[in-house]
Structure 1
Amino acid sequence: MRVDLVTIFPAYFHVLDFSLMGRAREAGLLDVVVHDLRGWTADRHRTVDDAPYGGGAGMVMRADVWGRALDEVLAAPPTPPEADEEGGDAPEPVLDPHAPPRRRILAFPTPSGVPLTQAIAQDLAGADQLVIACGRYEGIDQRVADHYRDQEVEVLEYSIGDYVLNGGEAAALVLVEAVARLLDGVLGNPESLVEESYSAAGLLEYPVYTRPRSWRGIETPEVLLSGDHARIARWRRDRSLVRTARRRPDLIDALDAKDLDGRDREVLAGAGRVLVPRRADVSLRPARRDEASELARLARDTFPLACPPHLGEADIEAFLGRHLSEEVFDRYLADPGDHRILVAQLREEDPQLIGYTCTILGGTDGMPADLVRPGRIELGAAYLSKCYVRAEWHGSGVAGALLERAVADVEARGRNSQVVLGTNIANRRARRFYRRHGFSVAGRRTFMVGDTPNIDDVLVRNVTPSVA
């Protein structure tokens, strides 16, 4: 690829002799030619600017000077091939009359241009010639860009951010590096292009670490030292999703939900964004003291979703009245030490609760005796008694995000080394869900809903308390 830089400060581009750009030029992968715009002036003062028509502050760069410069630069022949290894002259290029015309791009850095993106850089990497016109002062007379749009030249007016620089040189360097690093052979490891920010995955890159393992009391994430490549890949994907959701939510909204797996959706929900069944912001937080009534309504809407078909309405109503009433939730909320209730709430005009978990860490409502399994489940385990999401939000990732937040909450409290729950043996979806989140079956129990006995699988997940 040939890159022509037209500027009134040619020395600005000496930095292109260094690092990867310098090596790419030495290897013949990139041909960079810097031109002094003043070489095309027609007066002894080498004037390139004049006062703006219509008045106003500053000066405008002249169209006639730029026109003469760009006509000549754009007419430059293709970069000739390298000389042979024995030092002979390079062969004359053979022109194929059937070859497609050379693709020439004329780029103008300007604060009023389109934002430069990785997709634009990837497109420009396929050009034969990239000419960058570095404006100064108040910019280049608009007729220059308009004129070349009518020629066989692609014109790109681009911006590198919502701020103003003294001239286009810095933005030109950004464009050269963004494009040149995508050329074949410039990067030593082309796989780097696959995982970095703004790649085809559409996400910001994950955080990276190297030696020393511990620095100023901050440890390298243990998963990166595990040697388990699948776990590392998943961790990196998770961190990319979270980082993108928090820093560039616009990139998350540009994702196709069909390209996200269940874990992706859970991670995004935990970071506050869901894409299915519709795009929405969601907040995961501890329930407030005044939300007993709303929790009871949520429980009434969601508990029947987990009940097997043979359960009658009378039994369900009896269970709701005894275990999931407003009075029960009010008592739980009054005792946050032993009763931990987390909720998922939409951040919209109608801030509806769409899911909740209830974990009991101890006290009279603590671990039911019928869940204890000597040697596998101890009486002091945390009891995850509820994990429900409204039907219309199933598949959104909210349930998994709530569950992981509840487990992390148990770890943070430092009182319990296990989380235990029971789920009906007929509820295959729930059993798969909990197993995917690290729970294993430790036995079965008989669980009463009203007057009707039900058989539950008892599942357990070991945790590591983070505080004593």
Structure 2
Amino acid sequence: MRLDYLTIFPDYLAPLRLSLPGKAVESGLLELHVHDLRTWTHDRHRTVDDTPYGGGAGMVMKPEPWGEAFAALEVAPTDTIVFTTPSGQPFDQRLAEELSGRDRLVFACGRYEGIDQRVVEHARDIAEVREISLGDYVLNGGEVAALAITEAVVRLLPGFMGNAESLVEESHADSTGGLLEYPVYTKPPVWQGREVPAVLRSGDHGAVARWRHEQARRRTAERRPDLLAPSALDDGTPIERAVPADAGELLTLQRACWMQEAEANPGAYIPALHESLEDVQAWLREWDTYVVRRAGRLVAAVRGRVEGPEGTAWDIGRIMVAPDLQGQGLGRVLLEHIEAVAPATVTTYLLFTGEGSLRNQRMYRKAGYRLRSDLPAPPGAVILTKPRRQDS
């Protein structure tokens, strides 16, 4: 693979020669070329920027040096020009894998307020163009982004890593289902009073694999819940995170569901029957809420949030299924889903239901919950808890 870098600060890219990328260059696996964009200027000040048309703060990089640079480097249609810009496509592991299959990448490292848009348009005429952002923040220039993208891409090249197996279980890898990587440990077995988990020293490879998967999922749920693939029903219907626009349908659904609860629990005060649209909008901001839609209709939902000073209890509530779809297992699947997305700090699940809601109580007991008469519950309700399975 050949990598070219166009920049006004060539020294910024010196780290390319360090560590594994440097060894890959020495072995001939990589070919790196850093070019000073000022080489293609023609005034004594070597000017690469000018004021923006339309006014505004800052300066814009001029198109002429870029056009001459692309021509001098003989950029071809089979090449990929990467513009590092905060307005680009977010960079992730999938994109790194895609770029690792290219024969040549040309990084255009912008500065100031950016590069004249005509440069990007011209680049599209002569090669493939990818506008890429490291994230939702702004850097002084594109060099840092180019270094990060390079590191992520070239380590995927066959022969780059000494042990290719080290790529298999990394964060975001396809083999992990996109989960973050599990915690790792090495010797000594005890350090500053902290022990390596016993399962990792057990020699039971199956138990180790299960522990690692569970830890990866917990870490992902806690730190990057957006990476978790939506759970799905048996028919493939996804369970999706609720959005503010769902408030109206949630209000309608919970009133339909809790009318049944009112019939099973006469005289009990049921908050879900007395909430306004504004109330639902407010709790949507405070609870992790998930919904199921069928044919465009919101038919089921569940919510959860951390309770307690230590954040060890996961309060599960509003498990609701449209009356015409009850009895099909939707409630059970929603319960399993909301348990699975609980943060890693959670050790106990808890929920409330009506004293007279015997069908609900049967479902919860079947799922491992137990009635807790020793814990205070609202009038007319009972509380059930279930310990979260913890692997040592």
Give 3-state SS (helix, strand or coil) of 1:45's partner.
coil
Question: Following TM superposition, by how much is the alpha carbon of 1:394 offset from its aligned partner in structure 2, in angstroms?
Answer: 5.3
Q: Residue type matched to 1:127 in 2?
A: R
**Superposed counterparts of 1:74-223, under 5 Å:** 74-75=74-75, 103-151=78-126, 153-200=127-174, 201-223=177-199
TM-score, normalised by the number of residues in structure 2 = 0.64
- Whether the 8 Å contact between 1:354 and 1:393 is mirrored in structure 2 is no
**Residues 139 and 123 (structure 1 numbering): CA distance in 2 closer, same or farther, change over 3 Å?**
same
Aligned length: 292
- Whether the 8 Å contact between 2:171 and 2:181 is mirrored in structure 1 is yes
| Counterpart Cα distance in 2 of 1:28 and 1:154 | 25
Give 3-state SS (helix, strand or coil) of 1:39's partner.
helix
Q: Residue type matched to 1:111 in 2?
A: P
Q: Which residue of 2 aligns with 1:278?
A: 239
Give 3-state SS (helix, strand or coil) of 2:88's partner.
strand
- Whether the 8 Å contact between 2:183 and 2:215 is mirrored in structure 1 is yes
- Asked if 1:21 is matched to 2:21, the reply is yes
Larger radius of gyration: 1
**Superposed counterparts of 1:287-298, under 5 Å:** none
| Counterpart Cα distance in 2 of 1:229 and 1:389 | 40
Question: Following TM superposition, by how much is the alpha carbon of 1:195 offset from its aligned partner in structure 2, in angstroms?
Answer: 1.1
| Counterpart Cα distance in 2 of 1:244 and 1:354 | 20
Question: Following TM superposition, by how much is the alpha carbon of 1:280 offset from its aligned partner in structure 2, in angstroms?
Answer: 4.8
**Residues 182 and 326 (structure 1 numbering): CA distance in 2 closer, same or farther, change over 3 Å?**
farther
- Asked if 1:398 is matched to 2:374, the reply is no
Q: Residue type matched to 2:52 in 1?
A: P
**Residues 144 and 218 (structure 1 numbering): CA distance in 2 closer, same or farther, change over 3 Å?**
same
- 1:267-302 deviations in whole A, cap 9, x for unaligned? xxxxxxxx9763357xxxxxxxxxxxx99x87x98x
| Counterpart Cα distance in 2 of 1:348 and 1:199 | 25
Q: Residue type matched to 1:158 in 2?
A: I
| Counterpart Cα distance in 1 of 2:55 and 2:238 | 54
| Counterpart Cα distance in 1 of 2:49 and 2:120 | 16
- Whether the 8 Å contact between 1:277 and 1:396 is mirrored in structure 2 is no
| Counterpart Cα distance in 2 of 1:182 and 1:394 | 43
Question: Following TM superposition, by how much is the alpha carbon of 1:53 offset from its aligned partner in structure 2, in angstroms?
Answer: 1.0
| Counterpart Cα distance in 2 of 1:354 and 1:225 | 38
- Whether the 8 Å contact between 2:233 and 2:333 is mirrored in structure 1 is no
Give 3-state SS (helix, strand or coil) of 2:85's partner.
strand
- 1:108-158 deviations in whole A, cap 9, x for unaligned? 11111110111111111111110001111111111001111122x110111
**Residues 150 and 27 (structure 1 numbering): CA distance in 2 closer, same or farther, change over 3 Å?**
same
- Whether the 8 Å contact between 1:104 and 1:128 is mirrored in structure 2 is yes
| Counterpart Cα distance in 2 of 1:408 and 1:48 | 59
- Asked if 1:56 is matched to 2:56, the reply is yes
Give 3-state SS (helix, strand or coil) of 1:64's partner.
helix
Q: Residue type matched to 2:10 in 1?
A: P
**Residues 3 and 62 (structure 1 numbering): CA distance in 2 closer, same or farther, change over 3 Å?**
same
- Asked if 1:5 is matched to 2:11, the reply is no
Q: Residue type matched to 1:156 in 2?
A: R
Q: Among residues 229, 240, 245, which one is paired with 2:205 in the alignment?
A: 229
Question: Following TM superposition, by how much is the alpha carbon of 1:249 offset from its aligned partner in structure 2, in angstroms?
Answer: 2.0
Q: Residue type matched to 1:225 in 2?
A: R
Q: Which residue of 2 aligns with 1:244?
A: 220
Give 3-state SS (helix, strand or coil) of 1:279's partner.
strand
| Counterpart Cα distance in 2 of 1:115 and 1:402 | 30
Question: Following TM superposition, by how much is the alpha carbon of 1:212 offset from its aligned partner in structure 2, in angstroms?
Answer: 2.5
**Residues 215 and 389 (structure 1 numbering): CA distance in 2 closer, same or farther, change over 3 Å?**
farther
Structure 2 spans left out of the alignment, 5+ residues = 243-256, 269-286, 292-297, 304-318, 322-326, 350-361, 369-386
- Whether the 8 Å contact between 2:231 and 2:337 is mirrored in structure 1 is no
Question: Following TM superposition, by how much is the alpha carbon of 1:176 offset from its aligned partner in structure 2, in angstroms?
Answer: 0.7
- Whether the 8 Å contact between 1:74 and 1:131 is mirrored in structure 2 is no
**Residues 32 and 395 (structure 1 numbering): CA distance in 2 closer, same or farther, change over 3 Å?**
farther
| Counterpart Cα distance in 2 of 1:112 and 1:400 | 35
Structure 1 spans left out of the alignment, 5+ residues = 77-101, 260-274, 282-293, 302-323, 328-344, 356-387, 411-426, 435-460
Q: Which residue of 2 aligns with 1:338?
A: none
Give 3-state SS (helix, strand or coil) of 2:89's partner.
strand
- 1:376-418 deviations in whole A, cap 9, x for unaligned? xxxxxxxxxxxx9985335527359869x9x9659xxxxxxxx
- Whether the 8 Å contact between 2:240 and 2:290 is mirrored in structure 1 is no
Q: Which residue of 1 aligns with 2:378?
A: none
| Counterpart Cα distance in 2 of 1:234 and 1:189 | 23
Give the share of equivalent positions with the same residue, in percent.
Answer: 50
Give 3-state SS (helix, strand or coil) of 1:235's partner.
helix
Q: Residue type matched to 2:123 in 1?
A: Y
Q: Which residue of 1 aligns with 2:356?
A: none
- Whether the 8 Å contact between 2:230 and 2:238 is mirrored in structure 1 is no
- Whether the 8 Å contact between 2:232 and 2:238 is mirrored in structure 1 is no
- Whether the 8 Å contact between 1:104 and 1:154 is mirrored in structure 2 is yes
| Counterpart Cα distance in 2 of 1:74 and 1:119 | 28
Give 3-state SS (helix, strand or coil) of 2:80's partner.
strand
Give 3-state SS (helix, strand or coil) of 1:191's partner.
helix
